[in-house]
Amino acid sequence: MRSSSKKPEGAKRTSSSSRSMDSIAADKSGDSAQLRQIAKVMGNDHIKDALKGGTTHRDDMMAHICARLKVLESAQGKEQLALGREREWFKGVASGRDGHHLPDLTRWHESAKLYKKAGEALAQGHLGRGAQLLTQAAAAEQAAFDSAPDFVASEFEEMETAVAAPEEAHAINDEASCSGCAAPKELKIADRILSRSARMDKAPPLPRRKPAWFEEQVEEDEDKADES
């Protein structure tokens, strides 16, 4: 569970110490307002440790996001290929076979959207918000893989399918901050996933099998025609 405890309030510093912390906070112009306030209250060493730890968590989670977006794009691509192989699965779908339902590329949209939002939040220095969105994205990814039809899921055997969010994503305070960074280019993968929305709303009907007497009559007529 996330910690909801508030950061402790420190005792008042002397005026010289306060000025020193103000100067340090001003130098770190890229940090959030929250980190600047911590710098004023708790000192330079603390803020350096906080920035270092926050940056490490940010980079680890950002790498996880980029990796998962690549997996999502690959999974969606396999489902897109299945759309063109209708003859391989339509009987199972039309007959209501367990685990057989229509391909739908939009099943990957929610997780891709959440991963992108998580990456953007981390790039802006919102560590806690990014962690929160990352855990939501991981849950949405799991739901997407779980809902994939069997004939698509069978293509996932060599893939690293849905994995849980990194442990630090569950431990970071929702309001935690970190220094910002440039958004990685891999976040654009989410846009490609969201641009693919092909889906089938109705399965093709099963062909009606002709009765045995009809088949026998056809064969008889063909034999007569050959004799004549």
For 42-54, write each residue's pLDDT tens digit.
455 555 545 555 7
Q: pLDDT for 66-120, tens place per residue?
A: 999 999 999 999 999 988 787 777 777 777 677 778 889 999 999 999 999 999 9
| Least confident segment among 157-161, 183-187, 210-214 | 210-214
* Predicted confidence band of residue 11 (pLDDT cuts 50, 70, 90): very low
- Residue 78: C-alpha distances to residues 84, 103, 105, 156, 217 (Å): 10, 10, 10, 8, 45
Single-letter amino acid, residue 24 = I
Q: Where are the beta strands (DSSP E) in the chain?
A: none
Report field, pTM of the whole predicted structure over 0.75 = no
- In sequence order, what DSSP letters do the residues of 142-208 get, joined into one string? HHHHHHS-HHHHGGGTTS----PPPHHHHHS-TT------PPPGGGGHHHHHHH---B-SSPPPPPP
